[in-house]
Amino acid sequence: MKRLPQPLSILVWVIVAILGAMAFATIALHRGEQISATWLILAALCSYALGYRLYSKFVAAKVLVLDINRATPAERIDDGRDFVPTNKWVVFGHHFAAIAGPGPLVGPVLAAQFGYLPGTLWIIAGAIFGGCVQDFVILLFSVRRDGKSLTAMAREEIGNLGGFIAYLAILTILIILCGAVALIVVNALKSSPWGTFTIGMTIPIALLMGVYLRRIRPGKVIETSLLGFILVVLAVVGGRWIAQSPSLASAFTYTAPTLAILIIVYAFAASVLPVWLLLAPRDYLSTFVKLGTIGVLAIGILVFHPTLHMPAMTQFADGTGPVFAGKVFPFAFITIACGAVSGFHSLISSGTTPKLIRLESETRMVGYGAMMCESMVGIMAMIAACVLQPGVYFAINSPAGVIGRSADVATATLSHWGFPVTAPQMQSLAQAVGEQTLFNRTGGAPAFAVGMAHIFSNSLGGQAVMAVWYHFAIMFEALFILTVLDAGTRVGRFMVQEALGHVWKPLGRTSWYPSVLFSSALLVGAWGYFLWMGVKDPLGGINSLWPLFGICNQLLATVALCVATTIIIKMGRTRYVPVTLVPLAWLVSVTFTAAWRKIFDSNPRLGFLAHAELLSGSSAGPDTARLILNDRIDAAVAGLLVCLVTMILIESILEWSKVLSGSKEKRVKESPFVPSRFALEEEA
């Protein structure tokens, strides 16, 4: 592509900046009337364009000093298996598919309780200065270390303690993540025969895909995934018939506790079955559905430019929100992790992707660019939540323990708060989407599904297909989440087996079935416990689990940024260290404040220990002792994470001061420089 002449290029970017500024001014200053989602899209796109063009280029040139002439491990090793020099667009697509998860869909929906503005600003700014930078630098540093993982880099650059803490942080995040996302699925499917039938059908569909791929059409994954997609769509459509049949509907209607047990049993079984039979086909199917749905949602929002009904800021910025307790700072920044800054991405950036990178210069597009796209998905989720009438949004996302158990009490509470909604209105909406009720459907997934159905049904097919769109959205999220459960349980199991192998060697053998069963049971038991806690929590488990997950995820980002900062200092680029140090300092302040509040705040809705004290002072019921124990465990987990990250911060700061004072040699542990032949081809 020909470059524009410089004066014209400058003019174009000035126009982009002005458009972006206008869009931000509109969304920030607008009060009272509804505004079009187009303004959010414009603000986001202009910001991302400027961030990529200016900030990522600065990071690439000045901080990381990308060297096109240096051969990457994909070029040097090129074993045709793990290390394969790959076209940058293919690597980009592969990396984006790997990092895109349910997080950017759920977090923004929950954070919409503060209004659209705080979450939107964090998604955009957090991504440009935090998440994209983290993904980019970790990817490049892993490329320069022959694809080493984050844990290995932490061990090498910070010390053995750093590596151990990264390992523990990853294991903890896996457990909390699985518990939190499983709770989202439970809340989405409870008392929903249509939804439960559809998701239930994905299991035999995935098994069928596995057998089809292995026995009938070996290697034809895209074809098999398309077949699976068609079957899943038929299941979504067929679910209406199930819901309308009294006998069949009752067979697929489950309470939250029953669904929790079913999901635990499913995840255990899925994690011990051969990979090719269930996990792999399910993974392919959910990737197929995910990429298609994100694309369709993006087109839907751009073409139909829906109107946002949620105000820019709600009164719940003061911390009294019904969806989850806590003020905008720090909880808006904890609730939205994956769309802004996600420590989990550093595992992906130091996993398969660095082994495919052909040229160092391509890490900018893959690392920084893919995270930008993920951030855009977060913006789309924010839009889907905010197209709902606020009263409807809060009726869906607020737990019964906060707004009231009956429809009349709940709607009266919400109307009193200034978000008018009526019981007949909610009943009508529930019928329109093929559900028995939409009250107390916490977790973000049902609200996102209603928003998405609203966007499409207003334009394509009308109310008649709203239910199909709703259940398609539920299916898409639940399918994805169940894959995360399968895969998360397996990855965690390998980590547990690795640790147990130090205690008794046979337990470390990943192919020994007793060890597989034992380790899987341990891990499923761990996250299953958090799931059960959430299901039984009268405040709605999301109030406890999602902030805990956000804290975990961003503490892992803290670990990644500590590693990155250490390497930048050792590279002799200390004057540019604010690039990682500023987001690191921000994340430390956010996560530590959030953890402190969740442990010690005197508001029983917010502080775990305050809630335990309230319960111990009240008249004891059958569940009181268990709820008190749950609160104390949650407090202990939050406290443990903060202690672990404090240790790695101290280790990192000690390392920095040794290097900066000269008492330790400034030396990076990169693979040796080998000239790249691809660079010559690029120049030619």
Partner 1 sequence: MKQIAKALSTLEAIFREIFDESSYSRFLKRQHLSVSRESYAEFLCEQAQDISHRPRCC
Closest CB 404 distance from partner 1, rounded Å? 32
Binding mask 369-398 for partner 1 (x = CB under 8 A): ------------------------------
Token pair in block for residue 565: 């900062």
Q: How many Å apart are CA 319 and CA 331, to the nearest integer?
A: 9
Instruction: Return the range that interacts with partner 1 (CB under 8 A); candidates 46-54, 221-229, 234-242, 454-462.
Output: 221-229
User: Is residue 135 near partner 1 by the rule CB under 8 A?
Assistant: no
Q: How many Å apart are CA 538 and CA 605, to the nearest integer?
A: 11
Q: How many Å apart are CA 49 and CA 66, to the nearest integer?
A: 20
Among 70, 148, 364, 490, binds partner 1 (CB under 8 A): 490
Identity of the residue, 204 or 274, whose beta carbon is nearer to partner 1 in the bound complex: 274
Instruction: Return the range that interacts with partner 1 (CB under 8 A); candidates 83-91, 243-251, 571-579, 592-600.
Output: 83-91
Amino acid at 321: G
Among 3, 31, 215, 502, binds partner 1 (CB under 8 A): 215
User: Is residue 131 near partner 1 by the rule CB under 8 A?
Assistant: no
Identity of the residue, 93 or 159, whose beta carbon is nearer to partner 1 in the bound complex: 93
User: Is residue 519 near partner 1 by the rule CB under 8 A?
Assistant: no
Dihedral over Cα of 300, 302, 306, 309: its sign? positive
Closest CB 409 distance from partner 1, rounded Å? 34
Task: Give how far Cα 646 sits from Cα of 157, 501, 559, Å.
Answer: 17, 28, 10
Is residue 236 a contact partner of residue 475, using CB atoms and an 8 Å limit?
yes
For 674, the 3-state DSSP assignment is: coil
Task: Give how far Cα 561 sits from Cα of 34, 138, 341, 683, Å.
Answer: 39, 8, 11, 34
Instruction: Return the range that interacts with partner 1 (CB under 8 A); candidates 52-60, 157-165, 230-238, 488-496.
Output: 488-496
Identity of the residue, 135 or 360, whose beta carbon is nearer to partner 1 in the bound complex: 135
Amino acid at 181: V
User: Is residue 90 near partner 1 by the rule CB under 8 A?
Assistant: yes
User: Is residue 553 near partner 1 by the rule CB under 8 A?
Assistant: yes
Q: How many Å apart are CA 554 and CA 337, to the nearest integer?
A: 7
For residue 283, give the nearest of 485, 105, 469 by alpha carbon. Answer: 485
User: Is residue 225 near partner 1 by the rule CB under 8 A?
Assistant: yes
Identity of the residue, 26 or 352, whose beta carbon is nearer to partner 1 in the bound complex: 352
Identity of the residue, 468 or 552, whose beta carbon is nearer to partner 1 in the bound complex: 552
Query: DSSP alpha helices (H): ranges in 190-278?
Result: 193-211, 221-244, 246-251, 256-272
For residue 347, give the nearest of 478, 171, 500 by alpha carbon. Answer: 171
User: Is residue 578 near partner 1 by the rule CB under 8 A?
Assistant: no
Identity of the residue, 56 or 342, whose beta carbon is nearer to partner 1 in the bound complex: 342
Find the helix or strand (DSSP H, E) in which 317 lies: none
Instruction: Return the range that interacts with partner 1 (CB under 8 A); candidates 123-131, 218-226, 380-388, 533-541.
Output: 218-226
Closest CB 213 distance from partner 1, rounded Å? 8
Q: How many Å apart are CA 292 and CA 25, to the nearest integer?
A: 33
Task: Find the largest Cα–Cα distance for the chain.
Answer: 80
User: Is residue 7 near partner 1 by the rule CB under 8 A?
Assistant: no
Binding mask 262-281 for partner 1 (x = CB under 8 A): ------------xxx--xx-
Identity of the residue, 338 or 659, whose beta carbon is nearer to partner 1 in the bound complex: 338
Binding mask 91-130 for partner 1 (x = CB under 8 A): xxxx--xxxxxxx---------------------------
What contacts 684, CB < 8 A, 6 or more positions away?
Answer: none
User: Is residue 219 near partner 1 by the rule CB under 8 A?
Assistant: yes
For residue 607, give the nearest of 593, 596, 592, 619 by alpha carbon. Answer: 596
Is residue 608 a contact partner of residue 638, using CB atoms and an 8 Å limit?
yes
Partners of 335 in the β-ladder: none
Q: How many Å apart are CA 189 and CA 177, to the nearest integer?
A: 18
The contact set with partner 1 (CB under 8 A) reads 80-82, 84, 86-87, 89-94, 97-103, 177, 181, 213-215, 218-222, 225, 274-276, 279-280, 283-284, 287-288, 291, 337-338, 342, 344-345, 347-348, 351-352, 483-484, 487-488, 490-491, 494, 510, 549, 553
